[in-house]
Copies of this chain bind each other. A is one copy, B any other.
Amino acid sequence: MSLGPRKTPKQGRARATYDAILEAAAHIIAGQGLAAFNTNAVAERAGVSIGSLYQYFPNKDSLMAALIQRQQEAQLATLQAAAEMIGSEKTLEKVVRSLVRAAMQHHRENDLLASAIDHEEARLPVDALLSSYLEKAGAVVEVMLERFQHEIPSIMPKVAARTLPALVRSVTDAWANLRPPQLEKAEEEAVRAVLGYLRIGGE
């Protein structure tokens, strides 16, 4: 079963349809979880016919694969935006805090989507996709951290790029899922964990 998209639309109308479908899929999973993710619901939410969905995605799994790719691209974009915004920050801690805030926002709004993607990444043969993402994310993190090489000499950026998001996510989850959510505590703990992780190399 092919996981690639059926056709990759170049022009206006088609591109809009393609995007609307992915957006709808993300919205449904984020709001109701994998169990509510079905192609009819996606098409309806996207405001297109079910036939149109299958013009672009040969099957449900290929839609999921495209969604995974889209999330990785979004993640990457967020990361790059953060990288640019904090270009002038002086201290590692402030850089890390910005990173954590960016990641937190992303994950808080997409709890179910993130875990769904985790699961589906493990189920579907999307290894190449994943590697490519890690490569790129690693490059961005590398740039962000290189100014602080003296503080964190032993970090390998590509490795850190995989560990850091997971770390932020789990610590965030642990505190944000409480009732009431303890968001400040979440941020503190996440910053603490990341800094600790980064600095330990210098021990």
Contact = CB atoms under 8 A, between A and B. Distances in A.
Give how many copies assemble into the complex.
4
Given A196-B196, A200-B195, A177 B130 contact: yes
A200 B165 CA distance: 19
Interface stretch (A31-39, A41-49, A74-82, A142-150): A31-39
Dominant secondary structure of chain A at its interface with chain B: helix
Q: How large is the interface on A (under 10, 10 to 19, 20 to 34, 35 or more residues)?
A: 35 or more
Contacts of A71: none
A104 to B, nearest CB: 14
A20 to B, nearest CB: 22
B159 A189 contact: yes
A13 B5 CA distance: 33
Given A121-B177, A167-B171, 13 more contacts: A33-B122, A34-B34, A34-B119, A118-B119, A119-B119, A131-B178, A134-B174, A163-B174, A166-B171, A166-B173, A193-B196, A193-B197, A195-B196
Interface of A: 32-35, 111-112, 115-116, 118-123, 127, 130-131, 134, 159, 162-163, 165-167, 169-171, 173-175, 177-179, 185, 189, 192-193, 195-201, 203
